[in-house]
Amino acid sequence: MKKVNDFRWKKGMLVSEFVENLGNVGFQSTEMYKAADVIVKMKKEGAKIFMTFTSNMVTSGLRGFFAQLIELGLVDVIVTTAGAIEEDIMKAKGEEFIIGKFKPDDIELYEKGVNRVGNLFIKNESYMNFEGTIGRMLEDLYCKKPRWTVSEMNSEFGKNLEDKNSILYQASKNNVPIFCPGITDGSIGFHLFMLQQKNPDFVVDVVKDFSNILFSSSHDDKKGLISLGGSISKHHAILACLLNGGLDYAVYLTTAHSSSGSMSGATTEEAKSWGKVKDDSDVSTVIGDVTFTFPLIMVSVLEKLLKEGLLKQGE
């Protein structure tokens, strides 16, 4: 059994050494180290790696880090929500989000045309600019063909963006599918509706995309999941893997707790009762804000994989 060791900083300490030392501290620090270890194993074992995240993480500055992980070959399949697609396009087109406060005067923000996500502020003008952008992008899609799956649509969006920090751009460039089963749950859904009203033969086929996510792995593949937050994106990935024999590796990072019975709070251990995660799989559930737990874990992972020559060369 491991013993608790006192943490001490040393000059020139690498992030991987820092996270490794946290493994002997206890509580969530131990889980963070375990999560890093599981992700390294996923990559070394050649697992098909699914990554899921919710839109608020793309609102934050993690967006560019997600794009970099795709570029470095750490991700094979992405599942996310509509807001993530929207805000990735917004940022790729130059929209800027502002860091504010968690407890501002929200009525005053509304009067000024500012929308709040936690302590991040987004101006109405940014959404207005997005309306024009996405309208043109969807018209272009329809001109090419009337029927699309969401992942095909996302790949096409990525081809039309010129931003190395864009998730859509890097995914399209590196042939990583982005699934978004709840694509209508946002402004983009309204534009899809409007385009179909004008062109009844225009169809976005989410059922076909469910087939695509199922066939993105097989029973023979080793499968790993890095799930940030919860919701529809997390569930689609683990459901697809369940139907292909279950996950061999799983890392969940969330602020939710299992006491609510929610998908966001469901732990890797709970997933074993469904067969979503195999009985003997390597797993970790980290409770904490992803904006700092994930970068610490992943920079530690990247340092180790770089040392072993297991990263693709980025731009």
- As a whole number of angstroms, the distance between CA 216 and CA 179 comes to 11
CA dihedral 259, 262, 267, 273 (to 10 degrees): 100
Catalytic residue IDs: 276
The whole-angstrom separation of Cα 97 and Cα 90 is 10
Angle at 52 between CA 287 and CA 193, to 5 degrees: 130
Report DSSP state, residue 260: G
Listed residue (254, 298, 139) closest to 157, CA to CA = 139
Structure tokens at 142: 């329809």
Cα separation, 230 vs 77, in Å, equals 16
HSE value, Cβ hemisphere, 13 Å, CA-based, for 42: 31
Burial of 52 (0-12, 13-18, 19+ CB in 10 A): buried
CA angle 175, 179, 185 (to 5 degrees): 145
Q: What is the distance between the alpha carbons of residues 306 and 40, in angstroms, rounded to a whole number?
A: 11
